[in-house]
Amino acid sequence: MGDLINLRGYRTQKKRSYKKKYEHHISKFVTRFINSHVRSSIDTMRSYYIAGRYSEQAQAWDYYDFREALKDAIDEVFGQQLWEECQRNYWCDTRYISRDELLECFVSQLVLGTFASAMP
């Protein structure tokens, strides 16, 4: 009765445990989604991004700019569908995985390929 529960620590531990347990499922889901919905390569996307930055006469760009632009575009085009399809899986628990984390996983796998970790 005298034990005090650190709620933040408990939640962090539960989230870490969830990610460890279902990382493979999430990774497979995102890979399948990319393979069935994304029709162009990351190199093509990068070329369009660089051409766009050049036409805007941007002074410079970096990987982080590209990654953020890519994440925004993916969220706009696939975000809702990705999230809804993810929620249909038995392993999806919205207490431990958010739409934003799923989008980060999507971008990581798209940019790095199948070598990317499922969860950031």
Give me the percent of the chain exceeding a pLDDT of 90: 55
Question: Which residues contact residue 67 at a Cβ distance below 8 angstroms, ignoring those fewer than 6 apart?
Answer: 107, 111
- Tens of pLDDT, residue by residue over 23-68, are 999 999 999 999 999 988 888 888 888 888 888 887 777 888 889 9
Instruction: State both tokens at 120.
Output: 């950031």
